[in-house]
Structure 1
């Protein structure tokens, strides 16, 4: 029963993450009007939020261009540092959008929901990878942490635009640009 629920969350994680980001932006637009001076973000929140979004998108871009789905176990580039760079990048982006949307009351909920989805997806995928790759997977999991790197130097990064497109990471770039544009337009008025 728990495995079915984990698989369900894993299958719908992209839609759910997109909904979370959209809700954060809607929160920004629907929040009660406040005086113009207090509506402006502190530059620290803007800087940290933008840095998280950009770094998260960069990590996702690097990961998507390195990932060779259905061609073997990817252990190079960002996958040589952590096992789940796409999820870490997504989590960073959601946190960044929460800060940019000035949704401090919602940040913990968004981050918690995103983290729960990431954990479900990771558990589901790791079960599949363990079955598919056996001892190679076991060796990889012993050498490479899930989310927090032990080192920062990657091994043999093999990024290609072809893989980036095949993995449809352009959708994340377009969605990020749309979200950032909405926040910029809102702050301008």
Structure 2
């Protein structure tokens, strides 16, 4: 007797993305960030996809290498920073290369998702659930929810929404402050 078992397929989100960054590129990102360049300008200058840059910027902000900017990922005025502070920020990225010649942001994050979970993710997204609620639902870090958002947008399985990452919880002020509509 043959018993077929249907296993839920595992998917690696953002499997075609280049996560590797050199020290030179990281230092350029720091310069461009504090010069006030938009994410689109940085993408052109670095010859990297915007999604790759978004992941790196979130990682560097989490590590407190990049500061919050008034216009987020959009172009803004130059951010005042002393030469000493800039040198310190650039030296901090050296520590990211102690074990490897390239840096991979969020290497410790779980990029594997079951197909059924991606289906549920799309449902929660379309219902307007916030990134915080989605993270709680799946028992994952908020940063890990960023990956299926980018992946599913790239595959055109979810649409950008008015409330962006905050979904239906976004206030009028949040909508004004949002810098990258997802």
TM interval, short-chain normalised = under 0.3
* Richer in helix (by share): 1
Q: Could you tell me the TM-score, scaled by structure 1's length?
A: 0.25
Return the structure number with greater relative CO, CA threshold 8 A, min gap 6: 1
Q: Could you tell me the TM-score, scaled by structure 2's length?
A: 0.26
